């Protein structure tokens, strides 16, 4: 439940935090950074346009040990930081030396990711994409019974702002595959879910306890080579069409920061099957959803050259997730799979039901048949070299201060 750390009247002596669109004192996300002078990565918390360096030691140079501590530790840390950073706390002189200009710091992937699993819980995305390939049967029979997922590649997960090269691979042709640069490069607007305390192998996590194993959230762009993927994915699913790059926002937005913004999981439409008992919990259905507005923006060389703003390519919301995050955790561990601190889940593309909410170019351009027209006069069916995609998320609720996730940026470089 919301507590004093969510008080909308609470202000910070860090002036830039007051009214900040992402990181007011009511947020306090965790991250890993290197200060301007260099050195080993350090734990920090975002506050306005600054980063407060934490005193907590990093035994392996990552936040894994911190994530393993669980909610009791996070709540105590959050309460202490909120009190110390509050206006009038008297802590300013003591903490000033540990405050760094965020723009001058280097932000890192915050944890050592042992395993990355990408889910497919955005039902509008699954339906829209399914219609492109199976107009009469867009959703496969298992979709509404089981949270679909596949194992991704952890080694190519990149912090926001890191450019990546256009992938090469086998491309389908009428007379057989050719090898070359991807011609249908796409983005996907997703949430990332960080795992906190894990579970022993062979000991599934009950749905009622699943939330205790979630350490926080970020934005995630699961870049997709649609042509490579189309050729390779049958029968085993994504491989080289996905594994070349995944971008994430660097700040871990804690479950505690998001408590005021929890919403009921939308009821399933009439005729949809009820989740099996191991995936159904009354408390999770009552407050397992997230009140997050989600957006994707496109920056192109043409827009930049003409001094034009980014072009919004998706306006969606986390309520469009068919399965809750707790259901993802419970299902992932239901066969006895052991999750570990620092593991990362992707939600899958979270699209809205209409064209403005389509959170990939595959949907928005109907497979490339209906290109987007930008204010610069450019057209986009898929991403071109030099294009940059920016993901954003904001949590809003009347009576509370809005908090954001920061940006998740990635720019396409030519194939190497």
Q: Which residues are catalytic?
A: 125
DSSP state of 155: G
Is residue 373 classed exposed, middle or buried when 0-12, 13-18 and 19+ CB atoms within 10 A define those classes? exposed
- Which residues contact residue 179 at a Cβ distance below 8 angstroms, ignoring those fewer than 6 apart? 168, 169, 170, 171
DSSP state of 334: T
- Which residues contact residue 398 at a Cβ distance below 8 angstroms, ignoring those fewer than 6 apart? none
189: tokens are 């607007």
Task: Report the distance separating Cα 81 and Cα 109, nearest Å.
Answer: 22
CB 183 within 8 A of CB 224: no
Task: Report the distance separating Cα 127 and Cα 149, nearest Å.
Answer: 16
Spatial CA neighbour of 241 closest among 216, 255, 224, 221:
224
CB 248 within 8 A of CB 160: yes
Q: Is the dihedral of CA 357, 361, 367, 370 positive or negative?
A: positive
2: tokens are 């919301």
E-only strand ranges, 144-283: 149-151, 157-159, 164-165, 168-171, 178-181, 185-186, 189-195, 214-221, 224-225, 246-248, 262-263
325: tokens are 């995050």
CB 182 within 8 A of CB 414: no
127: tokens are 């339906």
What percentage of the chain's residues is helix, strand, coil (to nearest 5)?
25, 25, 50
68: tokens are 């393993």
Helices within 247-321 (DSSP H only): 282-287, 301-305
Task: Report the distance separating Cα 80 and Cα 340, nearest Å.
Answer: 27
Spatial CA neighbour of 261 closest among 74, 71, 395:
395
Task: Report the distance separating Cα 251 and Cα 218, nearest Å.
Answer: 6
């Amino acid at each position: 439940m919301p507590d004093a750390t969510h008080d909308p009247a609470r202000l910070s002596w860090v002036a830039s935090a007051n009214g900040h669109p992402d990181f007011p004192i009511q947020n306090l996300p965790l991250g890993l950074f290197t200060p301007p002078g260099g050195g080993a990565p350090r734990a920090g918390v975002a506050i306005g346009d600054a980063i407060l360096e934490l005193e907590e030691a990093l035994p392996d140079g990552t936040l894994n040990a911190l994530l393993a501590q669980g909610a009791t530790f996070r709540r105590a840390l959050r309460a202490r930081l909120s009190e110390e950073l509050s206006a009038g706390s008297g802590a300013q002189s003591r903490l000033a030396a540990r405050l760094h200009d965020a723009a001058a710091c280097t932000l890192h992937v915050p944890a050592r990711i042992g395993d990355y699993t990408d889910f497919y819980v955005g039902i509008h995305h699954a339906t829209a994409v399914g219609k492109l390939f199976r107009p009469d049967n867009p959703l496969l029979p298992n979709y509404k019974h089981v949270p679909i997922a596949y194992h991704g590649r952890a080694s190519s997960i990149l912090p926001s702002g890191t450019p990546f090269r256009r992938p090469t691979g086998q491309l389908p042709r009428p007379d057989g595959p050719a090898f070359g640069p991807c011609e249908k490069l796409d983005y996907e607007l997703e949430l990332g879910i960080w795992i906190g305390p894990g579970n022993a192998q062979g000991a599934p996590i009950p749905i009622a306890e699943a939330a205790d194993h979630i350490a926080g959230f970020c934005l995630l762009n699961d870049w997709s080579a649609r042509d490579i993927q189309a050729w390779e994915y049958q029968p085993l699913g994504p491989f080289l069409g996905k594994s070349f790059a995944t971008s994430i926002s660097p700040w871990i937005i804690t479950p505690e920061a998001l408590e005021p913004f929890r919403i009921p999981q939308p009821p399933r439409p009439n005729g949809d099957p009820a989740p099996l008992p191991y995936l159904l919990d009354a408390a999770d259905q009552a407050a397992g959803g997230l009140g997050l507005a989600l957006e994707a923006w496109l920056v192109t060389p043409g827009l930049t050259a003409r001094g034009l703003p980014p072009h919004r390519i998706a306006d969606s919301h986390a309520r469009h997730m068919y399965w809750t995050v707790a259901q993802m955790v419970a299902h992932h561990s239901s066969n006895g799979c052991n999750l570990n601190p620092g593991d990362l889940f992707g939600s899958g593309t979270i699209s809205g039901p209409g064209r403005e909410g389509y959170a990939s170019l595959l949907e928005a351009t109907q497979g490339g048949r209906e290109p987007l027209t930008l204010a610069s006069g450019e057209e986009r069916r898929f991403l071109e070299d030099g294009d940059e995609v920016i993901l954003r998320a904001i949590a809003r609720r009347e009576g509370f201060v809005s908090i954001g996730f920061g940006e998740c940026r990635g720019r396409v470089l030519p194939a190497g």
